[in-house]
Amino acid sequence: MIKVNGNVIDWKDGMTVADLLHLMEYPEYNFPIMVVSINGRHIPNDKYADTFISDGDEVNVLQPLAGG
């Protein structure tokens, strides 16, 4: 299991950041503006498909909002 934004989510062997974002139903066109960290370490957007999440990791996913 992993924690995502404080919520427990089932982990799967070989899960990447991109897999997690798909699981969370974020549309792929939003990926470039997402902010993701694993155990406090920022993950660059271009590394989402190559960065694996390990069992027990704590992941934070933020989607910045614009407003006025």
- Exposure on the CB side of residue 46, measured as CA atoms within 13 A: 0
Is residue 67 a part of any domain in this protein?
Answer: no
Q: List, for residues 40-64, the tens digit of each pLDDT value.
A: 999 999 999 999 999 999 999 998 8
Q: CATH number for the domain including 55? A: 3.10.20.30
Evaluate if pTM is beyond 0.85.
yes
The per-type count for the chain, helices as H runs and strands as E runs, is 1, 5
Q: List, for residues 15-42, the tens digit of each pLDDT value.
A: 999 999 999 988 777 767 889 999 999 9
Is residue 42 a part of any domain in this protein?
Answer: yes
Count structural domains, the chain.
1
The range of the structural domain enclosing residue 14 comes to 2-62
Q: Are 8 and 1 in contact (CB under 8 A)?
A: yes
